[in-house]
Chains A and B, each alone.
Chain A
């Protein structure tokens, strides 16, 4: 029993310790953001790595989720004679919830883990120390462009996920199940509000981008300089970022009604 309490205490202390370090790390990234020189080339390169290279997985998953939503939504709604509301159901589910959340989870798995592994490998091979010895701040050169790129691409990927989801829902609902196309679109249009739903969704994705970007870079940057350390950093990035996204999703929804 005492051992259990000790373990619990250690976990709480460790959590608070990491939270503190993450906050300091975030402040350093923020400072790097406003410290010259700007690094547009590195930023664009990271936009490509994190954004463009995630396009396929985001589009495919968006389409698949939209099709499942269309199918499940139609089967449920048709019982109540409300199949004409399929566009609203698919649209609101995707825009308010599934789009930003699933995009964040997918981006964590693909881009977040890659980011942590890349920075972790740089730690293990002393590349970051090499930068320090050249009087170059690794947070400025390596971490800041990656974090900023993650924040920038998350809303865009989320929007793309939603568009492909809506297309998937349309395909199943209209083409396969016979719902009228005009009804699907007008139901969607009437149900979705720009400020409450679309802007809120993008805001959510932005917050998730900050979370995933900071957690992935922090885990990589602070990993043990061994292959096991890199592996551990990659795994913990996926776990911690995914759980954080889901927890923050609840609080954003509960507090801001998005």
Chain B
């Protein structure tokens, strides 16, 4: 049985979860270390997103215990969850930005609701976060006017604007081209290292996982296996090692691109 330690920021203890007749998690027991990047891997339908939604209290387990930043949230009501969610930020797969608001208002929204700040201070915070994710200048655009990669970055900016302790990222690399993948990767990595936010990322993008994960939780039909990316890649079980057979890129900082007219290659830097 898992026990709460200072090291673990999120703990799953024998968690069972089913949607109707379909069991998704059967006795999941694992821990996510504080301040580290943990990537949740698994096949389609293995419950990666469900793990994040359970942590956010958007769904509740049928059985088991989930401890988030010291709070057992398994039995908390929606109202009680609001207190816990103040420690959480979530980047949804599709962004989940409010499509009737501009990007500026999307980011300003949680600040206006929860922080006692003047509008000038809110504007400064929003501009800073947008600059942080390389989206300066898109403040007045609607989410529908942005590309997929930009929406992901705007969603990331909104998720961290309230300075959460734990950041949940649902498939941050899905549907993106390799350049955008590396861009998001670099962003997440930098945010983790600078702000010491505990990051839980659901993904099935193996190259990114190998480059950025401190720890990997591989969801299997009968539970989960935990370890560093290298440990799991060299695992004796061929099913587990088989997840890591894809080619892995070199760096987390971004791809090297050729600039027309110049001989040298430049490492891509966020705008």
Contacts and interface: CB of A to CB of B under 8 A. Distances in A.
A133 B82 contact: no
Size category of the binding interface on chain B: 20 to 34
Interface string B83-98: 1011011101110111
Interface in B123-173: 162
A135 B114 contact: yes
Nearest to A130: B96
B86 A135 contact: yes
A251 B242 CA distance: 67
Given A133-B56, A134-B110, A136-B113, A126 B85 contact: no
Interface in B69-120: 78, 81-83, 85-86, 88-90, 92-94, 96-99, 109-110, 113-114
Contact of B94 (A126, A133, A134): A126
A98 B264 CA distance: 78
A133 B90 contact: yes
B119 to A, nearest CB: 14
Contacts of B99: 125, 127
Contact of A132 (B85, B89, B114): B85
A125 B85 contact: no
Contacts of A135: 82-83, 85-86, 110, 113-114
Size category of the binding interface on chain A: 10 to 19
Contacts of B57: 132
* Central interface residue in A125, A131, A137, by most chain B CB within 10 Å: A125
Nearest to A131: B98
B10 to A, nearest CB: 15
Contacts of A136: 109-110, 113
Interface string A122-151: 000111011111111100000000000000
Nearest to A134: B110
Nearest to B111: A134
Contacts of B82: 135, 137
Contacts of B85: 132-135
B113 A130 contact: no
B58 interface: yes
A125 B94 contact: yes
A224 to B, nearest CB: 12
Nearest to B170: A126
B77 to A, nearest CB: 12
B96 A126 contact: yes
16 contacts: A125-B99, A126-B94, A127-B96, A127-B97, A129-B58, A130-B90, A132-B78, A133-B56, A133-B58, A133-B88, A134-B110, A135-B83, A135-B113, A136-B109, A136-B113, A137-B82
Interface of A: 125-127, 129-137
List the 7 closest A-B pairs by CB distance, nearest first: A130-B96, A135-B82, A126-B96, A133-B90, A134-B110, A135-B85, A126-B92
Interface of B: 53, 56-58, 78, 81-83, 85-86, 88-90, 92-94, 96-99, 109-110, 113-114, 162
Given A126-B93, A126-B94, A129-B56, 18 more contacts: A125-B94, A129-B58, A130-B96, A130-B97, A130-B98, A132-B78, A133-B58, A133-B88, A133-B90, A134-B110, A134-B113, A134-B114, A134-B162, A135-B82, A135-B85, A135-B110, A136-B109, A136-B110
